[in-house]
A and B are shown apart, each in its own frame.
Chain A
Amino acid sequence: DVKVTQSSRYLVKRTGEKVFLECVQDMDHENMFWYRQDPGLGLRLIYFSYDVKMKEKGDIPEGYSVSREKKERFSLILESASTNQTSMYLCASSLRGRRNEQYFGPGTRLTVT
């Protein structure tokens, strides 16, 4: 079974803090994704990585950066957290060439106060 794990289920941070969200997958997938999910807005892609050290911006990259130093790990970084970044963050992975078949982690509910 593919397993995608995220470092925290719930996180509370203060405005201006630097926040790291970690994602690890154990199926040797080339592709990894970060999404945020908000009521009424659905799932929106923040960043996508197709290989180690490779990344592409998604629909809403502003205020975020990512790091992929190892194939199994993909980190999302909020350089200076703001209240409008309060959201559910979902990590996903897929095999190369099978971008439609994504496996999601359980999500991290981030609250920025």
Chain B
Amino acid sequence: QKEVEQDPGPLSVPEGAIVSLNCTYSNSAFQYFMWYRQYSRKGPELLMYTYSSGNKEDGRFTAQVDKSSKYISLFIRDSQPSDSATYLCAMSAKTQGGSEKLVFGKGTKLTVNP
């Protein structure tokens, strides 16, 4: 089983839809969970960052972590064409010195159609 699994899509939705993006993982030591967004021909940019379980909201974006199920989600409300991008989940374990290296999912390509 791969350490982080992410459905590559592609996912195509109409403007205004609620989008749900998901990752599962196998390493129970992961405590830091991130979502990066990557526009075409650009580098990834950090979108959301959560520690341990629970929800975090930032505008139209909500990140959710369920450590008991080893499952993380990113919800996008009222999706816009400008949200069209590849979304990468990433996670890392906590160590005495800080955190281990990031482990990335393969990314889900999202297209929001006007």
A interface residue numbers (CB < 8 A to B): 4, 40-43, 45, 48, 58, 90, 92, 97, 99-107
Give the residues in chain A near B8, CB-CB below 8 Å.
Answer: 40
Chain B residues near A (Cβ < 8 Å): 8, 32, 34, 41-46, 49, 88, 90, 92, 98-99, 101-102, 104-107
Given A42-B88, A42-B106, A43-B88, residue A99 in contact with residue B43 (CB < 8 A): no
- Helix, strand, loop or mixed for chain A's interface? loop
Q: Name the A residues within 8 Å of B32 (CB-CB).
A: 100
Q: A60 → chain B, closest Cβ, in Å?
A: 12
Instruction: List residues of chain B with CB within 8 A of the CB of A107.
Output: 41-43
Q: Total contacts A to B, CB within 8 angstroms?
A: 50
A42:B101 contact, CB within 8 angstroms: no
A60-B102 Cα distance, complex, nearest whole Å = 14
Contact between chains at A101 and B104 (CB < 8 Å): no
Q: Which residues of B sit under 8 angstroms from A58, Cβ to Cβ?
A: 101
Given contacts A100-B32, A100-B34, A100-B90, contact A42 B105 (CB under 8 A): yes
Are B46 and A102 neighbours in the complex by a CB distance under 8 Å?
A: yes
Once the chains bind, are B101 and A99 in contact (CB under 8 Å)? yes
User: B3: shortest Cβ distance to chain A, in Å?
Assistant: 11
Q: Which of A41, A43, A45, A105 has the most CB of B within 10 A?
A: A43
Question: When the two chains form their complex, are residues B105 and A99 in contact, meaning their CB atoms are under 8 A apart?
Answer: no
For the complex, give the distance between the alpha carbons of A8 and B13 in Å. Answer: 34
Q: State A92–B45 Cα separation when bound (angstroms).
A: 10
In Å, the complex CA distance between A99 and B43 comes to: 16
